[in-house]
Structure 1
Amino acid sequence: MLVRYFAAARAAAGVEEELHALPEGTSLEGLLEAALAVERPAPPEGTPTLARIVARSSFLRNEMAVRDHSVPLGTEDVIDVLPPFAGG
C-alpha cells in the first residue's frame, strides 16, 4: 500500500510517500498505525507530530474520499493523507 503525504503531513513524515507491505484486507486504521510506527526524525520546528496531523486529516483512497477507517484495503491501494488546509 502506498501512502502519500501532503503539506504538513509531508513535513512531519519527512517523506513524500512510502510503501507499506501489509496483507490484503488491512484496514485504513491498520495502515495508519503502521505508518505511525515508522521511526522518523523529529519534524521541523513548529511542525506538529505526524500522529497529531493524522488525527485531524482527511484521507483519499485511490483519489476517492474515505471516512470509514475500518474499510479493508487492497495491496495496490494508494492512500493520500490530507491535513486541514487554510484558505480556499
Structure 2
Amino acid sequence: MATGTIRYWAAAKEAAGTPEEAADAATLADLLARIGGDPALERVLRRSSFLIDGAPAGTRDPATITLPEGFVVEVLPPFAGG
C-alpha cells in the first residue's frame, strides 16, 4: 500500500469539497473505491480521466495500475473550452 495525494479539478473538486487530500491505496481501483461513496463524487469519477504522476491512465483497467509511494493522482472531469 502506498501513500500519496489526490488532486481534484473542476467538478471533481466541487463534488469532493476539497482541492486535494491524502490517501492510501495499492492500485487506482483501490483508490477509487476508497474515495467513492458520495453519489455526486461517484458520478464525476465515472466520467473523469486520471493522471498518475503526470502520466495518463488512459483506458487501462484501474486494477492493473499500481500506485507508487508518494503518488499524485489528478482527477480530471470532462470540461468544455479551449
TM bin, normalised by shorter chain, reads 0.7 to 0.9
CA distance in 2, matches of 1:82, 1:21: 19
TM-score of the aligned structures, taking structure 1 as reference length: 0.78
**Corresponding residue for 2:34?**
34
Q: If you compute each CA radius of gyration, which structure gives the higher value, 1 or 2?
A: 1
CA distance in 1, matches of 2:27, 2:24: 13
For the aligned residues, what is the CA RMSD? 1.6
> Which segments of 5 or more consecutive residues in structure 2 lack a partner in the other structure?
none
> Which segments of 5 or more consecutive residues in structure 1 lack a partner in the other structure?
41-47
TM-score of the aligned structures, taking structure 2 as reference length: 0.84
Does the 8 Å contact 2:24/2:31 carry over to 1? Answer: no
Which is helix-richer, 1 or 2? 2
1:18-63 deviation line (CA, Å, top 9, x unaligned):
00133xxx110110111114xx7xxxxxxx8110000000000111
The one-letter amino acid of 2:17's match is G
Identity of aligned residues (%): 41
**1:75 Cα shift?**
2.4
4+ residue runs over 6 A deviation: none
Q: How many residues align?
A: 76
